[in-house]
Amino acid sequence: MLEIKIKRLDLAHTWTIARGSADYKENVFVKLEQGGICGFGEAAPNVRYGESAALTVTRMKAAAPVFEQHDLFHFEELAAALAETIRDQSCARAGLEMALLDWVGKALQAPLYRMWGLNPARAPLTSFSIGIDSPEVIQAKVEEAADYPILKIKLGMGDDEAVLGAVRRVTDRPLRVDANEGWLNKEEALEKIRWLADQNVEFVEQPLPAAMVEETAWLRERASLPIVADEAVKTAADIPKVAHAYDGINIKLMKSGGLLEALRMIHLARALDLKIMLGCMIESSLAISAAAQLAPYTDWIDLDGNLLLREDPFRGVRIERGKVLYNELPGLGVEGDF
Ligand code: MG
């Protein structure tokens, strides 16, 4: 009743960030079938966290018996059992739990956002990410992204002035900056943030390497822009350790290991007075629609991984001028080719 397959997702443009470049992504897709209902899930392995498509498939296969041992409606219990079984490859857990919650939503005939009592109209506008490239290509990408009111740009490759300059020559739209751990010391990061502060930048994501928590706390005291943790926070357990060093956290299903842990992170971050951003990896509309179910809880969203694909095997939430448009379909609200 569990089917697993790897799909190659080609990108519309070569995707470059501070860690490296890619022309395609290999994500792992799951179909969970029981009682004539199919739930779908997607895992997007990320090398930053030691993940691969092959290991993800191995972990998913090892966890398949968990689905036989539990009533699918007892999804909290089942998800806890998945967490016991899958200790690394958090994206594998995310993909399996996604299929489970899609199944449950379909069985109950309700979209997940409705099961959680959320108002989809409260989802914030999403940003659209521009990967690192030559100034000419960056300008072309910004122009292609004319429909998106907020852009996210990737810095941290040593040519920050050229990248930002290229963007600012063609648009004055608000920007979010992601350094992907690319600035290597706190003084350099402070200088960059001071420079960004008068260029209509909303916040800076992961300026320093995740391990530099105390340096980031030093930076936060002096910086005039909010600092958001991405690589520094995977699950709820990481949040208290870094809460003094950041103004907000970027939650991603592939890091948290699924929607239920993402929900725990949202509640913990709120209790600690942190801002909440909801992000993604390069993913199809399947995983993006799953994340979107939580968007009404958050302050900032960056759910654009599907928009970077040449061809998207699924259809789910749509984005119009940065606004997330939900449908009334049950579960994750997704249709497509498994
Ligand atoms: Mg990031």
Query: 163 vs 10, 69, 93, 166, 266, CA distance in Å?
Result: 24, 52, 36, 5, 33
Separation of CA 47 and ligand 1 centre (Å) = 14
pLDDT tens, 269-316? Answer: 999 999 999 999 999 999 999 999 999 999 999 999 999 999 999 999
Reply yes or no on whether the pLDDT at 248 is more than 90: yes
CB 10 within 8 A of CB 284: no
Q: What is the pLDDT of residue 249?
A: 98
Q: What is the pLDDT of residue 17?
A: 77
Instruction: Report the mean per-residue pLDDT for the chain.
Output: 96
Report which of 264, 193, 271, 185 is spatially closest to residue 228, judged by C-alpha positions. Answer: 193
Instruction: Annotate 71-103 with b (16+ C-beta within 10 A) or e (fewer).
Output: ebeebeebbebbbebbeebbbbbbbbbbbbbbb
CB 264 within 8 A of CB 243: no
Q: What is the DSSP string of 57-81?
A: HHHHHHHHHHHHHS-TT-HHHHHHH
- Indicate the range of 78-87, 136-145, 179-188, 223-232 predicted with least confidence: 136-145
Separation of CA 281 and ligand 1 centre (Å) = 9
Reply yes or no on whether the pLDDT at 220 is more than 80: yes
pLDDT tens, 67-105? Answer: 999 999 999 999 999 999 999 999 999 999 999 999 999
Separation of CA 225 and ligand 1 centre (Å) = 16
Q: CA torsion sign, 263 to 266 to 269 to 271?
A: negative
Q: How many CB atoms lie within 10 A of CB 199?
A: 14
Full set of structural domains in the chain with CATH: 2-109 (3.30.390.10), 114-336 (3.20.20.120)
Q: What is the pLDDT of residue 51?
A: 96
Separation of CA 206 and ligand 1 centre (Å) = 7
Separation of CA 141 and ligand 1 centre (Å) = 19
Separation of CA 46 and ligand 1 centre (Å) = 12
- pTM for the whole structure: 0.96
Q: Where are the alpha helices (DSSP H) in 206-338?
A: 213-222, 239-242, 253-256, 259-271, 285-292
Separation of CA 334 and ligand 1 centre (Å) = 25
Separation of CA 278 and ligand 1 centre (Å) = 10
Q: What is the pLDDT of residue 20?
A: 81
CB 136 within 8 A of CB 163: no
% of the chain with per-residue pLDDT over 90 = 91
Tokens matching residue 76 = 């909290």
Separation of CA 315 and ligand 1 centre (Å) = 24
How far apart, in whole angstroms, are the C-alpha atoms of residue 11 and residue 186? 34
CB 103 within 8 A of CB 282: no
Separation of CA 154 and ligand 1 centre (Å) = 8
Separation of CA 264 and ligand 1 centre (Å) = 20
CB 232 within 8 A of CB 210: yes
Separation of CA 205 and ligand 1 centre (Å) = 6
Separation of CA 257 and ligand 1 centre (Å) = 17
Separation of CA 19 and ligand 1 centre (Å) = 11
